[in-house]
Amino acid sequence: MTNQIRVLPPAIAERIAAGEVVERPASVVKELIENSLDAGSTEIAVTLEDGGKSLIEVIDNGIGMSPEDLEVCIERHATSKLNCLEDLENILTLGFRGEALASISAVSDVTLTSRQAHVSTAYELHAGDLAARTEKKCRSKKTTFGHFLHSPHGTRIQARGIFSQIPARLKFLKSQAAEVSQVRECMEKLSLAYPTVGFRLVSDHRTLFHLKPQDEFSRIRALLSDGEDFPLVTATNESADFEKNELQIRLHWIQGLSSPQSRKLIQIVNSRIIRDRMLQHAILNPFKQTLLPGQYPAVVLWMKVNPASIDVNVHPTKMEIRFLEHQKIFKSIDSLVRSLILQKGAPAIATLSLPQESRTEFSESPFFAPHSPLPIPLSEITPAEQEPSYHRAEENLSLPSKSYPFQFTKQVGLLFHTYLIYEDQDEMILVDQHAAHERITYEKLRKRVLHTSSEGAHSQALLLPEVVKFPANQRPLLENRLIWMTQLGFETEIFGEDSLVFRSIPAEWGTYQLKIRLKNLLDRTLHMAPTDGNLESPFAPNLAPLLAMDEALFEKLASEACHSSVRAGDKLEPLEAQALVEQLFHCEHPWNCPHGRPTIVKIPQGKLEEWFHRKI
């Protein structure tokens, strides 16, 4: 018999293990910077050559290492962060697994130089390649290396030739520009978690960015605002007693900025940058009627939680976390985001800055970003552990009148028979009459459903009933689902084997292309999956609570109402236009139509003066 199982040689085993931690140059930079931060650094500099393939160098001004620590730090599971098993329940450092330096030195040629405070000499360790280290013990030596970022103490780590001995991994690296971009994105995210630390990135002798120590707000503006003067608004529940609730949340939102990628949706938990689907869903769920489909907001979520209530050891790269009380955390974040949007949601703002070459010949069309700030101050938001805002707003059918976010009283014009023009001090206000009426219609219908008893909604009788056909084999299914029609405010009756008669409709629906929209509504009801809102239950006496919990289902059934709204190009009398705007600001979310398009755009006077070259 031949033995089939053998122990892998150390060189192979180490490189396999390294593959879990080191995927690309950005992985190396992340691990080394996390070690630098744990060492108390206030300045960190990263230098790359050939996108990190030839050289990755990280220098910090942290506490440094002794020569004995230098010799041990490259061994697997060598760490200063843990002493006993119980320490795993209270992890507050970034690096603790003891795998980073071992993995990096397994796939590259590593040299470490370090000096502790109050020590006159720096020490250097050349780890060499993995094969050399398995034959003899590495020894550190004294070096003449001087200051570490204007500090007498700190550490420099150089990793050369990453994956040079592993061609299979090397060929999967991207272009130099792509690898540098990944490193930059990694450093920018880490700098958001540590705004008081300075960061510098140099690639092939060119400084790509140099972030000096800043406060939290300045760092977020510097990295996420794309150089535009977008407003930064913040919500927090930090007034809560952390010792009691063991959860603190800060949410920073750059209004007016959205993108088709989620790279500006930053999650920071206990100063650790992570990627968590539950947290992302909690942030994005309230934004679904505030952004266009496929767009993501620029948001920084900062959380402090009891380290005993999370598991940060579920992945070698430490980018994932398991939460013990995930439902409580989801509810808290969702509530905070909804409150922020409800109180500080805002009209779109014109943000175009003309390029220098276009100063003499205007050839660009103004671009309106999705959002901007309220020009009136609002109180601090501290809604710790509140219910989602739509529940609170809908406790009473008649909402209190909201103040206008601008002090206009008279329409001054109409653009393209679609956009109502108002003037407010130093701003021009444009209101999209169709988007505004869509929002009004949608919220009226929703309030009707959520506040109607089981006897059904008050409806508008049709002078001539509308008959809509459906497949005869779907009659049993329709009979079970007609309760939805009644709850929405329709009076219906099945006639024969394949016809549904509509005798009355909700007043909000109007009669524009009524038969087509009734056909669409019937099709949506029949083709809704059984899991959508438990449509198969004919015993629910009142479906309002169900609708309140199933936003997606309601939007599907109610979307046809929007098609009866005032159309672009419809002529409105001045009093009708004024009534439309007044109703808009009775809505819970007046700033966007149900599909996420802005209802209002404001153009500052200064922007107009820039366009007309009055102000350069």
> Mind listing the pLDDT tens digit for each residue in 234-273?
999 865 555 555 789 999 999 878 888 899 999 999 999 9
- Secondary structure of 164-214 in HEC code, one letter for each residue: CCCHHHHCCCCCHHHHHHHHHHHHHHHHHHCCCCEEEEEECCEEEEEECCC
The pLDDT score that the predictor gives to residue 346 is: 64
Residue 79 shares a structural domain with residue 140: yes
Average pLDDT, the chain: 77
Residue 207 has pLDDT above 90, yes or no: yes
Return the closest-CA partner of residue 202 out of 91, 334, 419, 44. 44
609 φ, ψ (degrees, to nearest 5): -65, -35
Residue 333 shares a structural domain with residue 263: yes
The domain boundary residue, chosen from 541, 557, 590: 541
The pLDDT score that the predictor gives to residue 88 is: 58
Whether 331 maps to a domain, the answer reads yes
Return the closest-CA partner of residue 203 out of 330, 49, 79, 34. 49
130-136 — which CB contacts under 8 Å span 24+ positions? 130/10, 130/11, 130/14, 130/15, 130/105, 130/106, 130/165, 131/11, 133/74, 133/105, 134/10, 134/11
| Structural domain range at position 303 | 216-344
Percent of the chain with pLDDT strictly greater than 70: 70
Q: Where are the beta strands (DSSP E) in 212-271?
A: 232-236, 247-259, 265-269
Which of helix, strand or coil describes residue 8? Answer: coil
The pLDDT score that the predictor gives to residue 230 is: 80
CA distances to 90, 344, 388, 549 from 337, in Å? 29, 10, 9, 17
Element (DSSP H or E) covering residue 552: helix 551-558
| Burial (CB count within 10 angstroms: exposed 0-12, middle 13-18, buried 19+), residue 246 | middle
Residue 47 shares a structural domain with residue 90: yes
Residue 228 has pLDDT above 50, yes or no: yes
The pLDDT score that the predictor gives to residue 355 is: 40
Whether 184 maps to a domain, the answer reads yes
Q: What does the pLDDT average to over 342-359?
A: 56
The domain boundary residue, chosen from 292, 320, 344: 344
Query: Mean pLDDT: which of 204-213, 415-424, 477-486 is highest?
Result: 204-213
Return the closest-CA partner of residue 114 out of 153, 160, 73. 153
Q: Give pLDDT tens digits for 152-168.
A: 999 999 999 998 877 77
**Domain CATH for 243:** 3.30.230.10
Q: Assign 310 a pLDDT band (cuts: 50, 70, 90).
A: confident
Whether 448 maps to a domain, the answer reads no
Residue 260 shares a structural domain with residue 291: yes
Whether 558 maps to a domain, the answer reads no
| Burial (CB count within 10 angstroms: exposed 0-12, middle 13-18, buried 19+), residue 475 | middle
**Domain CATH for 467:** 3.30.1370.100
Q: What does the pLDDT average to over 278-296?
A: 86
Q: What does the pLDDT average to over 390-398?
A: 28
Residue that wins the pLDDT comparison between 274 and 144 = 274
To the nearest 10 degrees (0 to 180), the angle between helices 100-107 and 10-21 is: 120
**Domain CATH for 102:** 3.30.565.10
Residue 379 has pLDDT above 50, yes or no: no
Residue that wins the pLDDT comparison between 290 and 380 = 290
Say which amino acid occupies 421. I
Residue 502 has pLDDT above 80, yes or no: yes
Residue 365 shares a structural domain with residue 325: no
Residue 391 shares a structural domain with residue 430: yes
Rg for the chain, CA atoms, rounded? 30
Q: What does the pLDDT average to over 503-516?
A: 81
The pLDDT score that the predictor gives to residue 549 is: 35
Residue 479 shares a structural domain with residue 574: no
Q: What does the pLDDT average to over 271-278?
A: 90
Whether 260 maps to a domain, the answer reads yes
Residue 514 shares a structural domain with residue 462: yes
Residue 15 shares a structural domain with residue 90: yes
Q: Are 197 and 207 in contact (CB under 8 A)?
A: no
The pLDDT score that the predictor gives to residue 538 is: 39
| Burial (CB count within 10 angstroms: exposed 0-12, middle 13-18, buried 19+), residue 139 | exposed
Residue 523 shares a structural domain with residue 576: no
Q: Assign 206 a pLDDT band (cuts: 50, 70, 90).
A: very high
What is the spatial distance between Cα 81 and Cα 94, in angstroms, rounded to a whole number? 9
pTM: 0.69
The pLDDT score that the predictor gives to residue 258 is: 84
User: Which of 183-187, 241-245, 298-302, 522-526 is least confident?
Assistant: 241-245
Residue 149 has pLDDT above 80, yes or no: yes
Residue 217 has pLDDT above 90, yes or no: yes
228 φ, ψ (degrees, to nearest 5): -95, 160
The domain boundary residue, chosen from 211, 227, 243: 211
Q: What does the pLDDT average to over 166-188?
A: 90
Residue 132 has pLDDT above 80, yes or no: no
The pLDDT score that the predictor gives to residue 365 is: 27
Residue 115 shares a structural domain with residue 230: no
Residue 341 has pLDDT above 50, yes or no: yes
CA distances to 41, 84, 280 from 90, in Å? 22, 11, 25
User: Which of 195-209, 503-517, 597-611 is least confident?
Assistant: 503-517
What is the spatial distance between Cα 527 and Cα 326, in angstroms, rounded to a whole number? 33
User: Which residues make beta-bridge pairs with 403?
Assistant: none
Whether 17 maps to a domain, the answer reads yes
Residue that wins the pLDDT comparison between 363 and 228 = 228
Residue that wins the pLDDT comparison between 53 and 398 = 53
Q: Give pLDDT tens digits for 407-423.
A: 566 788 889 989 999 88
Residue 89 shares a structural domain with residue 191: yes
Q: Are 97 and 73 in contact (CB under 8 A)?
A: no
Domain count, the chain: 4
State the number of CA atoms in the 13 A half-sphere of 495 facing the CB: 13
Whether 554 maps to a domain, the answer reads no
Whether 56 maps to a domain, the answer reads yes
Which of helix, strand or coil describes residue 477? Answer: helix
Query: Mean pLDDT: which of 97-101, 152-156, 325-329 is highest?
Result: 152-156
